[in-house]
Structure 1
Amino acid sequence: MSSKFYYTGRESPDASLVAVDGELTPRQTTDLREALPDETAVFDRYRLVLAIFAERASTKRAGLQVELARLKYDLPRLEERSDVQGLNKRVEKGTPIDGIKNRIADLERKLAALPSPAEQHRAERREQGFDLVTFAGYTNAGKSTLLRRLADEMELVEDDNDRAAACESGDSGPSGTDDSGDDSTETIEGEDDEHADIATETATVEDRLFETLETTTRRATLDGRPVLCTDTVGFVSDLPHWLVESFSETLSDAAAADAVVLVADASDPPAELREKVQVALDVFEAQDVDESRVVTALNKVDLLDGESVEVRRKALDGLVADLIPVSVHEGTNLDRLVAAVTERLPTDRAVLTMPNCDDAMGLVSRAYDRTTVESVDYDAGSVELTVRGRPDVVERLRVDADAVSAD
């Protein structure tokens, strides 16, 4: 067997970090540290992911989630090390193990007690007539880039005066685990102070892992209807269940969405592509996402020839019902993707007849804000308004129209 020094970068004595693409046991970590200079850090795959998560966390909830995930990572390693050292955990109290377990329980209580701003925002915006669309997929599949490009197709709204610019740019700073301060884990792009949590810039496009750690939502208009498009945290291959669970709050957007765009990377090898899509669908199923709401965008097809795209399409046969090959850079099939999303939005249609009065004009204005207005016909004494939109919004307009007619 080759010396362990062969595997620890013998020709790179100045390395400040050794990262292992896998999970290290406490003994393996110790052996590596002994073989390396004191100033060289040793990270396995999970600790590296946690370090990146910690760097990206900018809200109270995210800070608590990162700390919880790190402690859940450290606990079994400390327990294994303690077993090796002969520590009797059943007898000794006040050990580091007890401290970690107590802190884990404390963090879980704090997270459970925190209100869910994302859930609150979703409820408020459904009341205001918004449809919800979530973009999900593995990190670096191009979710943020796709959302930015779809701005041209979906009439993405921008407003430089919105107060949430700092949220998107990261100026809010890390939150740590302090119990005070705001805990909004969602930013949304909008047009006035009523939607001040809306991000003001289009999606940041950078080729780095976890560019989106917390959900970012942008306001758009789709087929005349107000829509909120949420860019979620990217999935990462080979992460343990407990780590995914620690960030389950970010996955709740998919469960609540009217339509989910699963973005897959066409440049992945076919077998890897299928595995990633399967994992994503399993996550959706665990979140009770109806598969009929999911449309899969096979992104980056501009990097492949037609035969290679077809190979990847066949690799996903039987796994996804609606696969649309797209290219963000060339604009390929973006219109098909938008049409597929539109088809999944819940829709009702109504023809409303009211007296031609001020209250009717106010209702027509609300209809333009919250639905697709197919037609408005005026005569001397009445207004006939034909609308299409979310069933609950259309029903409220119907009730309001009846009230106007009754006055």
Structure 2
Amino acid sequence: MNPYQENGADASRNVILVMRIDPDSDAEDNSRKLQEFSELTKALNDRVVDIITQERYPDRKYNVGSGKAKEIAIAARDKKANRVIFYDPLSTSQIYNISKLCNEAGASCRVMDRFQLILDIFAQRATTHRSKLQVELARLRYELPNARMLVSLSKKEERAGWGGLGDYEDSYEQDIKKRIARITAELKKADLEEEARRVYRHKNGFFIVSLAGYTNAGKSTLFNALVDEETESKNMFFTTLIPKTRALLINKRKILLTDTVGFIEDLPHFLVDAFRSTLEGIYFSDMILLVVDFSEPAEHIRKKLMISHETLWEKSTSNIITVLNKSETMKPAERKRKLQELEHLIYNPIFISAKTGMGIQDLVNKINENLPLLVTKTISLPNDERGAAALSWFYDNGVVEEILYGKYMTFEFSATEDVMARADDAVSKAQ
């Protein structure tokens, strides 16, 4: 059995959240992190029955102090907690030591950290073969550095709180490495197929627009508003794990709009690496709509924008429109003040409300203005069956303006440079 997984977990669990706070850290920043930590549990329908904090530097054995660790164990017993979740990353030995205290106090619970919580959320939301492989890869990369410690702990007579480690063999580390290699190879093959699809879409005149931003900013609601469709858009983190793509027309230009997984602070590198191919779908977009919950306090928005930029801007050369969502909740003067305060992090801003529809048409116009320029050329096709067949190709691959009919069908054709490079061949076949 995997020591990071539970047997027969209920649909809803009692959880205790633990956050150790560095003495020299910012109080407001810690408060925001704690709130976000609590919000994460809602994605799994868990109930937070207690929140325990301690201001101190990390303890090697328990992360928190030994007295606080015993307090956590007693709280887990008294409040019948199924999970004790630490904000800070825990080592394998720390998980073991805290689990042992809980077991001795009479509590039956799983001890885990925030990374494992996020990974559980991703595992629950993964429905495609590729996304399941990505989650498994992240889990294996997390386990690998601790593989030998797991084997050592599994041989101890006391296996407190692990739910039954099972008899791990000394080959456990090698088994993990082999599984990582196999999954990596399979994902590389999938990435090549995805890249081929991107190239095909561009050759056929589609512009790729991606929705990105901090999780729970309203990306899925905006996606619904733009494509006139109902996809899941709940008030919780990571409602979108598998990118959704739909086609729409903006001023006769063919757009493929993709809703992507949201960003989050301190996202573990194991998870970022495993889902890098998904993020690259954003990097290679013609345009990125960076969605922001503009109703939040300015300092929270600043932090989330910085996290989004760190994720996006290192590789992205795409145009970025900053979509200031939920702007209907404030007066124009407050919007202006916030925008001025954050203007160094906001480019091409637009105020919208994905929920009410406010500003959606303005956003559509802005997308049209910022898409890559089209090349325009006058095309003449014979007014016969072969010309009609060729005309269908032009409609499929670009923008056809009003046609003048006579011996020839003459029209202005606008398309990307890739498509325009193939236009002469289409005309030649029609002659």
Whichever residue aligns with residue 320 of structure 2, its letter is V
Residue number among 292, 299, 321 corresponding to 2:347 in the alignment: 321
2:268 matches 1:236:
no
Match among 373, 378, 387 for residue 351 of structure 1: 378
Q: Give the 5 Å matches for 1:102-181.
A: 102-114=178-190, 116-152=192-228
Mapped partners of 2:148, 2:351: distance in 1: 48
Query: Quick check: 2:286–2:371 contact (8 Å CA) kept in 1?
Result: yes
CA contact (8 A) 1:373 1:388 kept: yes
Instruction: Give the aligned partner of residue 401 of structure 1.
Output: 427
In 2: Cα distance, 1:225 partner to 1:50 partner: 38
TM-score normalised by the chain length of structure 1: 0.76
2:116 paired with 1:47: yes
Give the CA deviation at 1:230: 0.9
Match of 2:69 in 1: 4
* CA displacement, residues 178-202 of structure 1 (integer Å, 9 cap, x when unaligned): xxxxxxxxxxxxxxxxxxxxxxx64
Count how many residue pairs are aligned between Structure 1 and Structure 2.
349
What's 1:255 paired with?
Answer: 283
1:305-384 superposed matches below 5 A: 305-346=331-372, 347-379=374-406, 381-384=407-410
Output the CA distance in 2 between the equivalents of 1:86 and 1:39: 21
Matching residue's letter, 2:401: E
Whether contact under 8 Å (2:88, 2:114) holds in the other structure is yes
How far residue 239 of structure 1 moved from its aligned partner, in angstroms, is 1.1
Deviations 1:290-325 (A, max 9, x none): 15x111111112233444433432343222321112
Secondary structure, counterpart of 1:33 in structure 2: helix
Q: How many angstroms apart in 2 are the aligned matches of 1:268 and 1:80?
A: 43
Residues 1:265 and 2:293 aligned together: yes
**Which is further off, 229-238 or 276-285?**
276-285
One-letter amino acid of the structure 2 residue matched with residue 134 of structure 1:
S
**TM-score, structure 2 as length reference:** 0.73
User: Which moves more between the two structures, 369-378 or 50-59?
Assistant: 369-378
Cα gap change, 1:150 to 1:73, in 2 (>3 Å):
same
Q: Give the match's secondary structure for 2:306.
A: helix
User: SS where residue 318 of structure 1 aligns?
Assistant: helix
Aligned to 1:299: 325
Q: Secondary structure at the match of 1:150?
A: helix
After the TM superposition, which segments of 4 or more aligned residues of structure 1 sit over 6 Å from their partners? Answer: 81-87
Q: Distance in 2 between matches of 1:42 and 1:85?
A: 16
State the Cα distance separating 1:261 from its structure 2 match. 0.9
* More off after superposition, 254-263 vs 94-103: 94-103
Kindly indicate whether the alpha-carbon contact (under 8 Å) linking 2:77 and 2:108 is maintained by their aligned counterparts in 1: no
Find the aligned partners of 2:286 and 2:174 in 1 and give their Cα distance.
Answer: 44
CA distance in 2, matches of 1:113, 1:372: 34
Kept in 1: contact 2:291–2:324 (CA 8 A): yes
Instruction: Report the AA paired with residue 321 of structure 1.
Output: Y
Whether contact under 8 Å (2:220, 2:259) holds in the other structure is yes
Q: Which runs of 5+ in 2 are unaligned?
A: 1-64, 157-168
Moved more, 18-27 or 205-214: 18-27
> Distance in 2 between the 1:35 and 1:269 partners?
40
Q: Given residue 282 of structure 1, which amino acid in structure 2 is its aligned partner?
A: E
Aligned counterparts of 2:70 and 2:340: Cα–Cα separation in 1: 44
Give the partner amino acid of 1:4: A
Tell me the distance in 2 between the aligned counterparts of 1:118 and 1:79.
36
For residue 317 of structure 1, give the secondary structure of its aligned residue in structure 2.
Answer: helix
Deviation at 1:216?
1.0
Amino acid at match of 2:309: L
1:16 aligns with 2:44: no
**Cα separation, 1, equivalents of 2:419 and 2:261:** 30
Following the alignment from structure 2 to structure 1, what is the Cα–Cα distance between the partners of residues 212 and 223? 11
2:337 & 2:72 partners in 1: Cα distance?
Answer: 36
Q: Assess if the C-alpha contact under 8 Å between 2:211 and 2:258 holds in 1.
A: yes
Kindly indicate whether the alpha-carbon contact (under 8 Å) linking 2:81 and 2:107 is maintained by their aligned counterparts in 1. Answer: no
Q: CA deviation at 1:103?
A: 3.0
1:185 matched residue in structure 2: none
Cα distance in 1 for partners of 2:227, 2:182 equals: 42
Q: Which residue of 2 aligns with 1:225?
A: 253
**How much has 1:220 moved relative to structure 2?**
0.9
Query: Which letter does structure 2 place at the counterpart of 1:112?
Result: K
- Which residue of the partner structure matches residue 160 of structure 1? none
RMSD: 2.9
Change over 3 Å in CA distance of 1:303–1:23 after alignment to 2: farther
Q: What letter is aligned with 2:317?
A: D
- Describe how 1:6-85 pairs up with structure 2 within 5 A: 6-7=71-72, 9=75, 12-36=78-102, 37=106, 39-79=108-148
Which moved further from structure 2: 99-108 or 254-263? 99-108
Contact 1:215/1:233 (8 A) holds in 2: yes
Q: CA 1:313 to 1:12, structure 2 compared with 1: closer, same or farther past 3 Å?
A: farther
Q: SS of the residue aligned with 2:345?
A: coil
Kindly report which structure 2 residues correspond to 1:181-200, keeping only aligned pairs within 5 A, or say none: none
% same residue: 31
- Comparing 207-216 and 365-374, the one that deviates more: 365-374
CA deviations on 1:26-76 (whole Å, 9 max, x unpaired) are 343234323435531222110011111111112222222211211221233
Secondary structure of the residue aligned to 2:248 is: strand
Contact 1:20 1:45 in 2 (8 A): yes
Distance (Å, rounded) in 1 between the aligned partners of 2:329 and 2:78: 34
